[in-house]
Amino acid sequence: MICQSCIITTHSVKEIKTSELNSPEDKFDYTSFKFSSPIKVQKTRDWFRNYFALDIEDDLMNFKTSFLEGSDHEFIVTVFDYSDREEYMDLTGLFFGEGVESRESDIKFFVGITVTDKTGVDHLEESSIFQKPLLEQLTEMREEFRDFTVNNPDQKFF
C-alpha cells in the first residue's frame, strides 16, 4: 500500500477511447479529429496512403480529395501521427536509501486529421456546413482502420 502511493505521474497521456475533436490551440491551427492507433507510425501512414489512394512518394500533408461522396467540394486533408508515453517518478527508493527512479510507460500512438479547403476554412469547426458529414466519414474511416489493424496485426504494406 505504501509503495503504490510513492509513484508520482510527471507526464500523463490522455486516453482516447473512440475519437475526439480538438480545438486549435492558436488561431493558425485547425480543429483535428484524433484517435489512438494500435500499430506503429509507419504502418499507420501506409494504411492512410492506401485508403486515400496516394502514391508512396506523396505526403499525407495537405493533399486534395473530394472526401465526401456526391460532393464537388475539394478538401485539403492532413493526416498526422504522434506518439507519447506517461512518465513517472518512483519515490519508493527513498525509503531504502536508493533515491528517486524515473520510469516511462509503453509508448502510445495516435492519429490526427484536419480538413480544410483552399481558402483555409476549417471544416471540422462547428460553424462549417460540412462538419457533420465529415465527422461521419471520419468515424467510418476510423472504424475501417481499427478493423484492419485488428484483423491484420502483422500486415506489411506495399
For residue 31, give the DSSP letter. -
Rounded percentage of the chain residues whose pLDDT exceeds 70: 88
The secondary structure of 2-14 as a DSSP string is TTGGGEEEEE---
Residue 77 confidence (pLDDT)? 95
Listed by start position, the domains of the chain span: 16-84+108-151
CA 151 from centre of chain:
20
Work out the pLDDT band at 12, boundaries 50, 70, 90. confident
Work out the pLDDT band at 136, boundaries 50, 70, 90. very high
d(CA 143, CA 157): 19
Q: Is the pTM of this model over 0.75?
A: yes
User: Of 2-11, 19-28, 35-44, 47-56, where does the model show the most confidence?
Assistant: 47-56
Give the DSSP H/E element, type plus range, for residue 137.
helix 131-151
Angle at 77 between CA 76 and CA 78, to 5 degrees: 130
pLDDT tens digits for range 58-106: 789 999 998 888 888 899 999 998 888 888 888 776 776 677 778 777 8
Residue 156 confidence (pLDDT)? 46
d(CA 57, CA 150): 27
Over the chain, what is the mean pLDDT?
84
Tell me if 89 sits within 8 A of 7, measured CB to CB.
yes
